[in-house]
Structure 1
């Protein structure tokens, strides 16, 4: 297969990133990596081709999902640290109380 013109030439995006439909997903190999393509026009050869791309909306959704997960894990682990600290404080208080009782 020939090298796509956008890998060896300057190009201009003529149609922004859009989602491939079911037919395009089956018939266009360029749709397979991400499910999104953009139409480009190569400078020297004047060819129109399609190039796989990433959707900004999908990437933003994944980012916020990641941020939410990190926030939830932060809260869970902060609660675990607080509970562990309370248990250790209780254990230390019991130890001090037992030492005072034995005197």
Structure 2
């Protein structure tokens, strides 16, 4: 079935599927980006309850999830940076304390890496397609010359 499709139909189908994929990604990104569930709710046994005020108080996110510095990770000065290498800063409303908690991932970093990957795959696809079409033209010309030689020799 795919062999019977013309080049124009194939390009239209690929463009349609690519557009549909982008639409789904945009819609999913808008629905899932603001849920605030990117933190790990595991409490370290070594930390005191005053650093875990976010578990039993209302809190406000001062700084969104971001990567820890290399110094914080290697020196272990900030304990929440060791397991996941990401932290977010919170301000507890009742006690007024500003604490850090670990989080799974940085949303903007994950999105940037995804789009870099998609862009790279697009570029590789365009280059591959160009090579395939170029090689097909070369092979078609060779076959045409061979047929012309055979016809000229009278075979």
Same fold (TM over 0.5): yes
Q: Is the 8 A contact 1:33 1:52 kept in 2?
A: no
Equivalent position of 2:66 in the other structure: 18
Summarize the Cα distance change of 1:53–1:38 in structure 2 as closer, same or farther, 3 Å threshold.
farther
CA gap 1:61/1:34 in 2 versus in 1, 3 angstroms: farther
CA RMSD of aligned residues (A): 3.0
Aligned residues: 90
Whose relative contact order is higher, 1 or 2, with alpha carbons under 8 Å and at least 6 apart?
1
TM-score by length of 1: 0.66
Quote the residue 1:90 is aligned against: 141
What is the aligned partner in structure 2 of residue 44 from structure 1? none
- The equivalent residue for 1:71 is 122
More strand by share: 1
Which stretches in structure 2 are left out of the alignment for 5+ residues? 1-39, 44-54, 91-98
Structure 1: stretches of 5+ with no match in the other structure: 41-47
